[in-house]
Amino acid sequence: MKPERLLLMATGSLSRWYASGTSSKDTWRKPMDDQFATAQKMREALRTRRVSAQELLEWHLKRIKRYNQEINAIVVLTEEQACQRAAEADAALARGVSLGPLHGLPVTIKDCIEVAGMPTTAGVPQRTHTISTTTAPVAQSILDAGTVLLGKTNLPPYATDWQTSNPLFGRTNNPWDLTRTPGGSTGGGAAALAAGLTALELGSDLAGSLRIPAAFCGVYGHRPSETAVPRSGHIPGSPLENPAVVMNVMGPLARSAADLEMALSIIAEPIVGERVAWQLQFPPPRHTRLADFRVAILPPVPWLPVDGEILSALDDLAARLRHMGVRVEEIKPEGFDLWKHHEAYCQLLSAIIFADVSAEERAQIVELLRQSPDPFAGAQEAGVSAPVSQFLAMLEQRECYRALFREFFGDFDVLVAPVTVTSAFKHISDQIPRVKRTIQVNGRTVPYTLLPVYAGLATYSGLPATVFPWGKT
């Protein structure tokens, strides 16, 4: 991507990556950028009183007021409450009291995750005036850690698109290039992070909704294991404290891997109601030396083109790992077929997404799918129309893939694949139904709905997945 306008903050581990796209005339670079490159650095500056929570908040508010109008990432700004919270954080620290491990750190939350007393619109007009009466457990954990909530970030309606635009707040633009999408559905959060408007973002992911925006905006994202964090308090979703959620999870976006680890350590816990019975504790890493890790790289498939620059970046990553003594193999799990896997994933995903629609809406969806260029439209239609008995069969098939990956990860520690088939593309009108959209990849026309093929690898089996920037497209 060659940015027409750069609004990015050159920070920390990303600063060298961003530097090639900046010029001496860029006025958004501040002397404190490196000091506040990551959430960890901000936390340390707060702890050692090199900056106060109020000063750090003011720095972020100035950036929001300067850049957010063009990016449109933060759509609910809680400035008054944030100022009060920052003042409380400073007063507490003056007394020698910490509010938590993220004391005074400015954060944002995706506008489909409930926070009591705040709107949770999920990007749809019918929820314009809906004020949440409860707070999602993951959001509560972030708030209880001592953070300063800046506000909520934009998303597509009901978090169901790989772009970010809705009738309430409009379109979010990629800070690298305002004519391109930041991805979706946590596009507002990824754009806010990339532009230096927040220190951490709490988002969600069902079909790449954390990972695709992270890739498009050049930040870090983590989809936790399906059972690692509580899943209630998400819209759409069940109002129950312990909803039987399949595949959808909430997780962090950040500007470094260490920030992801820090955020995950705070939100990971048993679901509500089970905390009295057990506690979550992550196992230690399998290895402590990089050279001891066994890395698998998923081979490409002829039916799914991937942008050449992305493939080159993967090759470069593999070469560097080998140079450092890491065992790297291009290999897939025995018996694994990406086509069949995505077919099964599409069927279950459609069954989940459209479970509550009316018979009339179901018929309209089926009609649209029959006009789609997506070769997996038939699987999606089967999911939309599936009876309960078929849904149970889908879950059983899912367990087969979970077992396959468990065996595979006995021999390998990491499976590396593209996040998606392309880098951030030009905005596509949201008036065009998703099933009719196409994108260009290496000169080939590709159905838009193939964007989550690689994201489905982790989603379908409930696996954790981390996105990190490598190179620049």
Just list the catalytic residues.
Answer: 110, 185, 209
Q: CB–CB of 182/173 below 8 Å? A: yes
Structure-block tokens of residue 47: 């702890």
Q: CB–CB of 219/193 below 8 Å? A: yes
Sheet holding 327-330: strands in order across? Answer: 327-330, 294-297, 414-416
Structure-block tokens of residue 265: 């350590």
Amino acid identity of 171?
R
User: How far does CA 16 lie from the centroid of its chain?
Assistant: 23
Secondary structure (DSSP) of 364-430: HHHHHHTT---TTHHHHHHHHT--HHHHHHHHHHHHHHHHHHHHHTTT-SEEE--SSSSS--B---T
d(CA 466, CA 258): 12
d(CA 218, CA 241): 34
Q: CB–CB of 335/404 below 8 Å? A: yes
- For residue 38, which phi and psi values (nearest 5 degrees)? -135, 165
Length of the chain: 473
- Secondary structure of residue 178 in the 3-state scheme: coil
- For residue 414, which phi and psi values (nearest 5 degrees)? -140, 140
Residue 426's nearest CA partner among 245, 56, 176, 200 is 176
Paired residues of 445 in beta bridges = 440
